[in-house]
Structure 1
Amino acid sequence: MQVTELLAEGLKREYRVVLPATELDAKANARLAEMKDKVRLNGFRPGKVPVAHLKRMYGKSVLAEVIDQAVNEANSKIVEDGGFKLAMQPKVELPQDEAAVQEVIDGKADLSYTVGIEVLPKIELGDFKSIAIEKPVLAVADTEVDEAVARIAEANRPFTDKEGAAEKGDRVTISFVGSIDGEKFDGGSAEDVPLVIGSGSFIPGFEDQLTGIKADETRIVKVTFPADYQAAQLAGKDAEFETTAKKIEAPGELTVDDEFAKILGMDSLEALKEQVKSRIVQEHTAASRAKVKRRLLDALDGLHQFDVPPTLAEQEFEGIWGSVTQEMEAQKKSFSDEGTTEEDARADYEKIAKRRVRLGLVLAEIGEKNNIQVSDDEVTRAVVERARQFPGQEQQVWEFYRKNAQALATLRAPIFEEKVVDFLLELAQVKEIPVTREELYAEDADEKPAEKA
């Protein structure tokens, strides 16, 4: 085997490899000799089939297998001799000229091909103990719990039938048929929908026009869909809804006490408050964790600056860019609406893509150097949790992940990342800082959506 380096630029390498015809022929003959004792052909006793006869019958297919194996072995030797870690699978370019290919197959010419590889950079890990970050903390106040319980109570308020016109706060059961320019549209019709007037559940302006409606009365409700409406085909459109009130109900008295808590399946009001408080604590903890993680990743990015494999960066950028442009199309926004240009936006998101790849490589290196692993039990728990998100389809979800290694890797990766983050937070200097709810849940001013992942 003869290897000639053609390119060594950054993390890219390219080689020309020549595999002598004599070596390929020798390997093919050895493979045929192995087949001799296994092949059963009419007219020949077991193990007595001449190799020359096998070569006439199977020579080309065997040589193809030998070439494939030889190319893989040659590429592996290049990687091993160079001490490389591959970022991508090697890109092999075999001869395309039919005459040249035929000469190789006939054993009359050496096989010459090129192989391009992208290698991972050598990462010098920084001093994690030098990282100093602030952790926002927010204690759960009794007023916050009381407000949450009040919202739960309001959502479970009893209603009783009412004679006469509907007022704000009343619940109206309606059926409606929506149309735009006289044409019905998908998702614009529904039957027996309960709606509390003033709840803000429907499109702005819809509920106000139901004030004064009576049971069995039909009205044409005219509204304009918001410009940022989630269904892009409806955003900003004027629509009419032929709306019929089926039933009017007035809100009943609501007493938040132990009896109310028991209706919700709790032993007492105090138990309900404890459950609500626990949920709020989880929400605050998750929000705090997200901010701490972002600050930790910022610090890691500052400690580790190196070139990333171009193809990995391109793939990451394409994923981010696709999401960004799809969201903008759905919202019917342009880059000028965002105060930028497509060129500048691409440059920004290319930086974000490189940052994400760089941080991914750093986290992987930290995990490898410190033997941080994800156990099979942890992955199994993740699959079970995922299956629970699809009631009635748990078995199908389980089978999907059991048979799909790539999908399973998507569950393993975030577990690994969180374990590495935990490891780093143990080493870093983390200072707890009391904050308000507004501060805890506010997005960082310089944070782009693509940087959250």
Structure 2
Amino acid sequence: MQVSVETTSNIERRMTIGVPAQEIDAAVQKRLQETARTVRLNGFRPGKVPLSVVKRRFGASVRQEIVGEVMRDNYMKALEEQEIVPAGWPKFEPKSLEEGKDLEFVAIFEVLPEIELGDLSKIAVEKPVSEIADKDVDTMIDNLRRQQATMKSVKRKSKNKDIVTIDFKGSIDGEEFEGGAAEGQRLTLGSGQMIPGFEKAIVGGKAGEELEIEVTFPEDYHNEELAGKPAKFDIKIHEVQEPQLPELDEEFFKKFGIEADSEESFRAEVQKNMERELKQAVSNKVKNDVVDGLLEVTELEVPESLIDQEIDRLRQEAVQRFGGQVDFQQLPKEIFQDQAARRVKTGLLFQEVIKKNDLKADDAKVEEKIQEIASTYEQPEEVIAHFSSPEQKGQIESVVLEDAVVDLVLEQAKVKEKKMKYEEAVKAGQPQR
């Protein structure tokens, strides 16, 4: 086997491999002999088909199979010989396939980039600082009650948090626009589901009333054709419903997996959950800023093969979320391109920080993380047992290592604390897509 490697870019390689003709011919001959022992052809007894007949019938397809296997096997041997680690599967380009002559082919593949981390002191991180006030707990409990509310139709004027059933039709300069009309739409007033001004204009309306309102689409509206434009909406209110909130009793508490015998103990559990959520949100926000900073200060060329693999993973995750009703390959790759690229870049950068600083997953922190996760479940001992297997524990070790990378970057980055309300902090920590 003859091998030569050409560097065509920072991450692309062209490996030319030559395989002697006798190696191909011997493998083809062996496969044809195996085929002759098992193939069934009219006019011949099983196992008695002449080799010449088998070669005439199956020679071309067998050779094609063998060439494919030889290219794959010799490519793997060449990688080991050249001490090259590819980033993904190659594209094979045969240069010489003529029978009786040496096989020559090119394997085009990508390798992981060599990364030179940028100046970590140039990274800016904004860390939310927030406390959970009594009114935040009140709001959370009110939201929980509304999730379990029953609805009662009312004749009075509508107010915020009522649910109205409406028809609406929108127009710009007298022309209706796509997506600007609906019938039987249920809308919670004050939810911010519609564009600014829409819900506010309905507040005070009663069942049976018809309204004509004027609103303006936000400048950053997702549909650029509508962004910033004034519009008129004709609205008919069919029904106004008032939520009937459940009592704060043990039956209600159990619906949220909380064993509490009083409103006070229920509030304490709710606040504890909110504190966990806030802690995670702050951690997410800081990590997002660290990732953004690493991407800004470090030049990084990413193998397309890794991005394609990540896109496939994201497509499969999307299919699972929607109940597996479609083949993941039917989902357009472009939808996931940016998210996949960010994930791959983040993984490569974190790996480089880990390698450069010889970071290890601290056993105590791994145990602490397992205990933290287990504490959110009704049967924590079962969760702890679940993470006792090497595979599951390895997942926690990866999380702890990521935390170690973030901590290391924070030691050198410019960290600025910013006071936020609870809801603002939680929103700031929502994961980036």
Normalised by the length of structure 2, the TM-score is 0.61
Residue 227, structure 1, aligned to residue 211, structure 2 = no
Q: C-alpha displacement at 1:307, in angstroms? A: 6.6
Which SS does the other structure have where 2:247 is aligned?
Answer: helix
Equivalent pair of 1:84/1:120 in contact (CA under 8 Å): no
1:324-403 matched pairs, under 5 angstroms: 355-356=345-346, 358-359=348-349, 361-362=351-352
Q: C-alpha displacement at 1:178, in angstroms? A: 0.7
User: 1:437: which partner in 2?
Assistant: 420
Q: C-alpha displacement at 1:423, in angstroms? A: 3.6
Residue 190, structure 1, aligned to residue 183, structure 2 = yes
User: 2:111: which partner in 1?
Assistant: 119
Distance (Å, rounded) in 2 between the aligned partners of 1:251 and 1:443:
26
Q: C-alpha displacement at 1:148, in angstroms? A: 3.6
Deviations 1:188-234 (A, max 9, x none): 223274654x6755433334544665543323223232233345554
Over 3 Å counting, the alpha-carbon distance change for 1:159 and 1:433 in structure 2 is farther
Equivalent pair of 2:155/2:206 in contact (CA under 8 Å): no
Over 3 Å counting, the alpha-carbon distance change for 1:27 and 1:202 in structure 2 is closer
- State percent identity of aligned pairs: 28
Deviates more, 1:177-186 or 1:430-439: 430-439
Distance (Å, rounded) in 2 between the aligned partners of 1:442 and 1:261:
25
User: 1:277: which partner in 2?
Assistant: 271
Q: C-alpha displacement at 1:9, in angstroms? A: 6.1
Q: C-alpha displacement at 1:19, in angstroms? A: 2.2
User: 2:249: which partner in 1?
Assistant: 262
Q: C-alpha displacement at 1:139, in angstroms? A: 5.1
Unaligned runs of 5+ in 2: 118-124, 254-260, 313-338, 363-369, 371-390
Which SS does the other structure have where 1:260 is aligned?
Answer: coil
User: 1:59: which partner in 2?
Assistant: 59
Deviations 1:330-369 (A, max 9, x none): xxxxxxxxxxxxxxxxxxx9x9788435226448979x99
Distance (Å, rounded) in 2 between the aligned partners of 1:301 and 1:177:
45
Amino acid of the structure 2 residue aligned with 1:262: D
Which SS does the other structure have where 1:284 is aligned?
Answer: helix
Q: C-alpha displacement at 1:28, in angstroms? A: 0.9
Distance (Å, rounded) in 1 between the aligned partners of 2:20 and 2:7:
22
Over 3 Å counting, the alpha-carbon distance change for 1:317 and 1:286 in structure 2 is same
Distance (Å, rounded) in 2 between the aligned partners of 1:354 and 1:224:
40
Deviations 1:263-296 (A, max 9, x none): 9813532244134313311321211221453476
Which SS does the other structure have where 2:38 is aligned?
Answer: coil
User: 1:179: which partner in 2?
Assistant: 170
Which SS does the other structure have where 1:261 is aligned?
Answer: coil
Which SS does the other structure have where 1:71 is aligned?
Answer: helix
Which SS does the other structure have where 2:248 is aligned?
Answer: helix
User: 2:49: which partner in 1?
Assistant: 49
User: 2:94: which partner in 1?
Assistant: 94
1:197-346 matched pairs, under 5 angstroms: 202-210=194-202, 213-232=205-224, 234-246=226-238, 260-262=247-249, 265-266=252-253, 267-294=261-288, 310-311=303-304
Deviations 1:380-412 (A, max 9, x none): xxxxxxxxxxxxxxxxxxxxxxxxxxxxxxxxx
Amino acid of the structure 2 residue aligned with 1:240: K
Q: C-alpha displacement at 1:183, in angstroms? A: 3.1
Q: C-alpha displacement at 1:87, in angstroms? A: 0.7
Which SS does the other structure have where 1:42 is aligned?
Answer: coil
Amino acid of the structure 2 residue aligned with 1:276: V
Distance (Å, rounded) in 2 between the aligned partners of 1:61 and 1:169:
73
Which SS does the other structure have where 1:49 is aligned?
Answer: coil
Unaligned runs of 5+ in 1: 126-132, 320-348, 373-377, 379-412
Which SS does the other structure have where 2:168 is aligned?
Answer: strand
Distance (Å, rounded) in 1 between the aligned partners of 2:151 and 2:42:
87
User: 1:392: which partner in 2?
Assistant: none
Equivalent pair of 2:127/2:286 in contact (CA under 8 Å): yes
Amino acid of the structure 2 residue aligned with 1:260: E
Amino acid of the structure 1 residue aligned with 2:420: R
1:420 to 398, 401, 425: 398
Q: C-alpha displacement at 1:124, in angstroms? A: 11
Distance (Å, rounded) in 2 between the aligned partners of 1:118 and 1:147:
52
Amino acid of the structure 2 residue aligned with 1:190: E
Distance (Å, rounded) in 2 between the aligned partners of 1:219 and 1:269:
42
Q: C-alpha displacement at 1:72, in angstroms? A: 1.0
